[in-house]
Amino acid sequence: MNGDLLWHNTLWFSAKEDARRRGRGGYDFAPLLSGMKPVVASADLAICHEEVPLAAAGGPYRNYPLFSAPPQVVKAVKATGYDVCTTASNHAVDQGFAGVRRTLDDLDQAKIAHAGTARSNAESQRSTIFTTRQGIKIGIVAATFSLNGLPMPKGKPWAVHRLSTKELLGQARRAREAGADIVLAAVHIGTEYSTKENAQQVALAKALTASPDIDLVYMHHPHVVQPWTIVNKKLGALRRREHGGSAGSQSHLRRCNWAVHLHPRAEWPIHGQQSGIHSDPGHLLPAWPTSPALSRICEIEDR
């Protein structure tokens, strides 16, 4: 899992220059993420957080505060090796329901699964479950604490999963009923640029990990690294509160960001039984976004 893919205009400029250097038009975002590819592509399951909506081909493209990113980012996300992207964020409705729909359509076309937003009520109730090469079914549920004051699309209260412990537990229960062996909760929450979790994060992690339907909770939004915590003495119930932003360009923020890498060690129980599925508490891999002329995620060193 990693933090926000937050496509600021400086990243578009880099992608445009990368495309030009290769004798192409348009945008090439793959070099931006190339340093992460060896780890991402080798994972049994790689999850990104696509924080902002995508524009139609040709634009117009919009920067902060109401994002609309070039759709070419999806090709780079796929090429890097991501299997699933969560999409519930404070920017999810920056471009209204049309932006929600375009983003999911583009992810579908690239065969990237998604969780957190929906184009219909039926889709909002459908579980996102990824099956690994080993046959393990992993459910992903997602929600966001905020829409930055923007309204939910009119007549579509199901378009974005808003933060509610009850709603997240309902998602997790449906994922279990649909056959998930493991369920991960990805929540967009926290105080931006704070390396310490806030009270809302702590309370949510305790509530979610108290449920037998959720195995691990991780959070994004602050754009900086926050600590891991084991909650409720539950194997695999790790509160990874924020990965930092994997791609973004806040000029005032030059801190090291991270991806989370889980390794096979301790056994995960499934439905209270020995499963043969293993993972240790995981470790962090540094990713340093450079700026501004040619943005790059640094090569990840697996320590």
Predicted confidence at residue 264, as pLDDT, reads 40
To the nearest whole number, what is the mean pLDDT of the chain?
Answer: 84
The yes/no answer on whether domain 4-287 falls in CATH 3.60.21 is yes
Query: Does residue 253 have a pLDDT over 70?
Result: no
Predicted confidence at residue 84, as pLDDT, reads 98
What whole-number distance in Å separates Cα of residue 297 and Cα of residue 257? 9
Chain segment 46-97, per-residue pLDDT in tens: 999 999 999 999 999 999 999 999 999 999 999 999 999 999 999 999 999 9
Residue 154, exposed/middle/buried by CB under 10 A (0-12, 13-18, 19+)? exposed
Structure token pair of residue 294: 């040619």
Q: Name 120's Cβ contacts closer than 8 Å, sequence gap at least 6.
A: 158
Helix H or strand E encompassing 125: helix 121-125
- What percent of the chain clears pLDDT 90, i.e. is strictly above it? 64
Nearest CA among 259, 169, 239 for reference residue 197: 239
Predicted confidence at residue 277, as pLDDT, reads 58
The pTM is what?
0.87
* Domain ranges, ordered by start, for the chain: 4-287
| CA 208 to each of CA 117, 146, 175, 199, 228: distance values in angstroms, whole numbers, following the listed order | 20, 19, 14, 14, 15
Predicted confidence at residue 222, as pLDDT, reads 87
Predicted confidence at residue 275, as pLDDT, reads 55
Chain segment 217-239, per-residue pLDDT in tens: 999 998 888 877 888 865 333 44
Predicted confidence at residue 232, as pLDDT, reads 83
